[in-house]
Copies of this chain bind each other. A is one copy, B any other.
Amino acid sequence: MLTKVKAFAPASVANVSCGFDILGFPIDNIGDTIEIERNNTGKITINPIKGPGTLSTDPDKNVCGVIAKAMLKDLGKSDGIVISLTKGILPGSGLGSSAASSAVTAFAVNALYGNPFDGKKLVEYAMLGEELASGTKHADNVAPATLGGFIAIRSYDPFDLINIPVPENLYCAVIHPMVEVRTELSRNVLKKNVPLKTAIKQWGNVAGLIAGLFSSDYNLIGRSLEDHIVEPVRSLLISGYAEIREAAKNAGALGGGISGSGPSIFNLCEGEESAKAVANAMAKAADELKLPYEVHVSKISTTGCRFVE
């Protein structure tokens, strides 16, 4: 049995346009890294967290602590654990920051004990972190961060995850404009009821998006990235949203939308060159708006959590 595991989990985009609350995919080249070491203190300890953010190191108030505790309990282990987390994702970016920490914890603890749990069960453990961070056990970030690829959540009860194939040449360009969007506000602007006609449009686009992903039809993927329900209201909370999306579109993005509850904005692109051009165009738009930002270009990886050296 291992006594020490080092692992990485990627950032992720949830609420993929029309796929609000049911779809997500990983952004491969940014994420959180964890080192977990077993000892016989019987205590869960979290070392000071490296990287951006000001997360608690109290094991009951930190997603890593809560998840590790639940897993140890289910395994009937009274071991101590020391967690060292390096954040590569800014909390509040809309890029699945808490999800990456949660996914990587579940993955690393599982490895430490000889992989007793399957991928779906790891996602369920990681959802405990989401519950702590946001109040709801949503899976649209933790599932792709854990398992990789495009993941659809068909249902929570019973919990049903679906792997959607990723076209070979599908890339994503993401910009994180450094503007604050309060998650509660972002949640509160959504109406509890939506017109049936609009909902029908939305699930027509979901059908198109899933079909486009299965058939590697980039044009269909692009046409289907339409969100008539959430984007129209939430985008108003993100300074520069319209200008940045317009710039991405003009630079050849297939389509895109708000990543998570924002402020990050994602665009799907055919090919790496296109994604780079889209990232540059978004950066230029943000420059013109005098917004600070970070951009990321990534293939849609089919790997989620993984070991590092």
Chain A: residues with CB nearer than 8 A to chain B? 18-23, 152-155, 160, 162, 164, 190-197, 199-208, 210-211, 214-215, 220, 223-224, 226, 229
Chain B residue at minimum C-beta to C-beta distance from A207: B152
Complex Cα gap A254–B210 (Å): 21
| Chain B residues near A21 (CB-CB < 8 A) | 200, 204
Stoichiometry (number of copies)? 2
Among A160, A162, A194, A214: residue with most chain B CB under 10 A: A162
Check if B160 sits within 8 Å of A207, measured CB to CB. Answer: no
Check if B193 sits within 8 Å of A22, measured CB to CB. Answer: no
8 nearest interchain CB pairs?
Answer: A154-B208, A199-B199, A214-B214, A203-B203, A210-B210, A152-B207, A193-B193, A22-B204
Complex Cα gap A223–B191 (Å): 28
A100 to chain B, nearest CB (A): 23
| Contacts A162-B208, A193-B195 given; does A203 touch B201 at CB 8 Å | no
| Chain B residues near A153 (CB-CB < 8 A) | 204
Complex Cα gap A261–B177 (Å): 47
Which of these, B191, B196, B203, contacts A190 with CB under 8 Å? B196
